[in-house]
Amino acid sequence: MNLTLRRDVSATDTEDGMVLLDEQSGSYWQLNTTAALILRTLLDGTPERAAQLLTERYPALPAERAAADVATLIGSLSTARLVVTGA
């Protein structure tokens, strides 16, 4: 799966994670550090790699939960129309 930010969405790193601004609607979303890590990984890699990084960062996190968390974030970003997904 290839994931990219929509052309009119900008991302800015913050001390606490990341902010996404939809320049078309003027809406913005605050991502915490974990969600920002997932998104950065998805933009350069795969959902599997993002889930792997989560389990490396949080060893007590089961792999199935990490994969579900990644899928939930992808779903939320897609529903908010902030990202475009491809094959």
SS (H, E, C) 36-86: HHHHHHHHHCCHHHHHHHHHHHCCCCCHHHHHHHHHHHHHHHHHCCCEEEE
Q: For the chain, what is the domain count?
A: 1
Residue 19 belongs to domain with CATH number: 3.90.930
Q: Name beta bridge partners: 14.
A: 17
Q: What pLDDT digit, counting tens, does each position of 21-73 carry?
A: 999 999 999 999 999 999 999 999 999 999 999 999 999 999 999 999 999 99
Domain span at 25: 2-86
pLDDT band at 86; cut points 50, 70, 90: confident
